[in-house]
Structure 1
Amino acid sequence: MKLKNILIVVNDIELAKKFYHDLFGLEVLLDSDGNVIMTEGLVLQDEKIWCEFVNKDIVHKNNSIELYFEEKDIEAFVEKLEKLYPKVEYVNHLMTYSWGQKVVRFYDLDGNLIEVRTPL
């Protein structure tokens, strides 16, 4: 068995596609009626479809899952983030751990937690 994709719920598919393309370079592989499959296994699903499927409300910023990315030039990434999405909400701004690894955590436009670190 193999994990194929990770699905996150978004309020606006078009804004979410742009966000993940702008910041992470993800490309759309399939765009079908409120479901978008992007490169690297990320799937975006329209909130209305998800709510109908599970018949429950969405809990934004539930902090129970995060998308994890690695970036060698994290300073350039943070500059791009601040330039393109200046109102992004941070969990923590760019910091350096005692062992030298750098990390930044923030929420996407829909409250999904994202972590970007330098590789070890």
Structure 2
Amino acid sequence: MTYKNPLIAVADMQKSLDFYHRVLGLTVEQDFGTNQVLTGGVSLQTLESWAGFLGCDERDIRFGGKSAELYFEETDFDAFAARLAAMEDISYVHPVIEHRWGQRAVRIYDPDRHIIEIGEPLPAVARRFAGQGMDVEQIARRMDVGADFAAQLLAE
């Protein structure tokens, strides 16, 4: 068995396609009409067709649950966060935070209230700490990882 990709139902395909392109830079790789596969492997399925697959009424499908998210990483996190802040129509789960291990992240909602997280890649976190004068041992302690893993992150 091979895991392929996440699929999320959307109420308005065009609105969702516009959001994922404008905010995350994703584009359509495969267009199957009621299903659109985006770069990175995210699939969007129309609400109507999704309800048909499940054999239920569209009203039985609820958006806005807080049990899952789509996770992305952005190497130039500062530039992304600034660009995101300039977008007036973004609905935040929370603004940019720094997790206890030092990784910065922001969580936002897509048009159907699916949670999207954009995080700073761990190698970028390690390099940021090195730029602040930390050595490998200090980085490992700050990130709560082993020194070998911290050195590996710095080498990436």
In terms of fraction of residues, the more helix-rich structure is 2
Worse overlay, 52-61 or 42-51: 52-61
**Structure 1: stretches of 5+ with no match in the other structure:** none
Matches of 2:6 and 2:47 in 1, distance apart? 15
Distance 2:78 2:22 in 1: 16
Distance in structure 2 (CA, Å) of the matches to 1:25 and 1:97: 25
Q: If you compute each CA radius of gyration, which structure gives the higher value, 1 or 2?
A: 2
Q: Residue 87 of structure 1 aligns to a residue in which SS?
A: coil
- CA deviations 1:13-53 (Å, max 9, x no partner) are 11111211222222212212211111211100111111222
Identity of counterpart residues, as a percentage?
A: 40
- In 2, distance between residues paired with 1:88 and 1:58? 23
2:7 pairs with 1:7 = yes
Normalised to the residue count of structure 1, the TM-score between the two structures is 0.89
| Equivalent residue, structure 1, for 2:37 | 37
TM-score under structure 2 length normalisation: 0.70
CA distance in 1 between partners of 2:48 and 2:90 (Å) = 23
Q: Which residue of structure 2 aligns with residue 59 of structure 1?
A: 62
Report if aligned partners of 1:91, 1:107 keep a CA contact under 8 Å in 2: yes
**Runs of 4+ off more than 4 Å:** none
Q: What amino acid is the match of 1:5?
A: N
SS in 2 for 1:76: helix
Shift of 1:89: 1.8
Higher relative contact order (CA 8 A, sep 6+): 1
The farther-off stretch of 42-51 and 53-62 is 53-62
- What is the aligned length? 119
